[in-house]
Structure formats: C-alpha cells, structure tokens
Amino acid sequence: MDPANPLQQLLLRGLGTTSLVADRLRVVTQAWVSSGRLDPSEASRLVDEVMASLRGENPELEQQTGRKMERNIDNFLQDLGLARQRELDELRGRIDRLEQTLRQQRSASDPLPPVSDADGLPNQGP
C-alpha cells in the first residue's frame, strides 16, 4: 500500500471495515440462533441482506446514498463559495435571455436608418 495515495488507503480501509462488519454480524447472528432469539433461516437471510447492502446491491439504499452525497457536495461547495456546473449553466441561460431582451429593446427604440438612393447618398425627400 502506498502511504502517499489516500484514495488507495481509503479503499483498503473500507474493504477491511466491510469484512469486520460481516464477521461481527455472523458472530452476533450465531449467538442469537444459539440463544433461540433467531431462527437459523432468518439469520442467514439477515446476513445475506446486510451483505447485499454492503456490496451495493440494494438500489433503494444506493439512491438514498446518492441523494445524501449530492446534498453533502452542495453544502460543501456552498461553504467554499463555489458554484456547481448546473448553477453556472442556469446563470449563462439567464444572461443569454437578458442580452436578447436588451438587443430587442435597443432595436425597437432605435430610429430607422435613413434610406439611401442609388448613388449612396441619403435620400432627402421631395
């Protein structure tokens, strides 16, 4: 393990934690089965469900985790004073609409340019 690579360290610690949780869960469920508090089939189902959740095979849990992660990222970026890409895109759209409105207002308020005749001189009228 490279001590200078925090991502690698985090991944390995996560795997170790998952392994410890699985081992501890098995010990606890075996103790509950021994004491009669839990049926052996329920114990194995419980262990399977928890392990599936830890492996990310639980779509509902993944969605909840994703929403929490988005909120945490939003809060973190807000604390730093940074904008998310979607916020920048919204602002660009608003700026484009304002510029278009301003161009339309300017063109509506500008008088029509004088009409030129064939020699390129402004037409003075009759």
> Is residue 39 in some structural domain?
yes
Residue 21, domain extent: 11-106
Give the confidence band of 91 by pLDDT, cuts at 50, 70, 90: very high
pLDDT of residue 94: 97
Quote the pTM value. Answer: 0.37
> Is residue 113 in some structural domain?
no
Number of domains in the chain: 1
> Is residue 125 in some structural domain?
no
What are the pLDDT digits (tens) for 2-36? 667 777 777 767 767 777 777 888 888 888 888 88
Give the mean pLDDT of the chain. Answer: 78
Q: 9-13, 73-77, 88-92, 103-107: which range is least confident on average?
A: 9-13
pLDDT at residue 59 above 60?
yes
Answer for the pair 26, 13: CB distance below 8 angstroms, yes or no. no
3-state helix, strand, coil in the chain (%, to 5): 75, 0, 25
> Is residue 123 in some structural domain?
no
> Is residue 124 in some structural domain?
no
User: What number is the average pLDDT over the span 101-115?
Assistant: 80
